[in-house]
Amino acid sequence: NAGVTQTPKFQVLKTGQSMTLQCAQDMNHNSMYWYRQDPGMGLRLIYYSASEGTTDKGEVPNGYNVSRLNKREFSLRLESAAPSQTSVYFCASSGRIAGGFNEQYFGPGTRLTVT
Amino acid sequence: QKEVEQNSGPLSVPEGAIASLNCTYSDRVSQSFFWYRQYSGKSPELIMSIYSNGDKEDGRFTAQLNKASQYVSLLIRDSQPSDSATYLCAAPQGGSEKLVFGKGTKLTVNP
């Protein structure tokens, strides 16, 4: 059971380049999330998906697009990278436990630098 | 935007002491609360979930929830240098699955 996996682990982009961050989970969770973490700002939600085929904006969606390819996979795309998107990106997934509550589990992260 | 506030820290305790981490939240609808531990350069790891008023114990960790005061805490007994990390408190946003995270408290346990 790998949990939540992310690729790549590190990436350096030039301003204006595009890339897709990949995320997959093997916990049969319905919900998946993309966060970014910046010093002093904490974890901020970019997009989330409550189920296959649905996505919703979070706190900081500008400059990003997402695709929920199937139940397992949720990708994050930067169409035209900007230095302000230099950050650590985390994918997470959550599923209901006994009592009806959700617990979120995180992937290892992608460190992205935009020059 | 509902908020989750944590002591900004950093917090430093000697090995073997009790470390106390605190969190307040603004959304009265929240029913579940989570503590994550994040080592430097690593991803957040869920260490405690609490859903009802009172205490929940798991090994050296105790989470305490007071819904009336909108306050949740994490106590770490017999602190070890390996507990040195940033601890994040999180609560659901309204009745949704989305979590709002505090900015974290950095804990250092000195040998």
Q: What is the pLDDT of residues B33-80, one digit of tens each?
A: 999 999 999 999 999 999 888 999 999 999 999 888 889 999 999 999
Task: Report the alpha-carbon distance of residue A8 to residue B73 in Å, rounded.
Answer: 35
pLDDT over 60 (residue B101): yes
Task: Report the alpha-carbon distance of residue B91 to residue B34 in Å, rounded.
Answer: 6
Interface A-B: count of C-beta contacts within 8 A: 47
Instruction: Summarize the confidence of residues B82-105 as an average pLDDT.
Output: 91
* Largest Cα–Cα separation, chain B: 42
User: Cis (ω within 30 of 0) for the bond into B111?
Assistant: no
pLDDT over 60 (residue B1): no
Task: Report the alpha-carbon distance of residue B44 to residue A104 in Å, rounded.
Answer: 10
pLDDT over 60 (residue A113): yes
Q: Find the closest chain B residue to A50 by CA distance.
A: B97
What residues in A contact B46, CB-CB < 8 Å?
Answer: 103-105
Q: Looking at residue B7, what is its pLDDT?
A: 82
Instruction: Summarize the confidence of residues B23-33 as an average pLDDT.
Output: 83
Q: Is the dihedral of CA A78, A13, B88, A23 positive or negative?
A: positive
Q: Looking at residue B97, what is its pLDDT?
A: 83
pLDDT over 60 (residue A79): yes
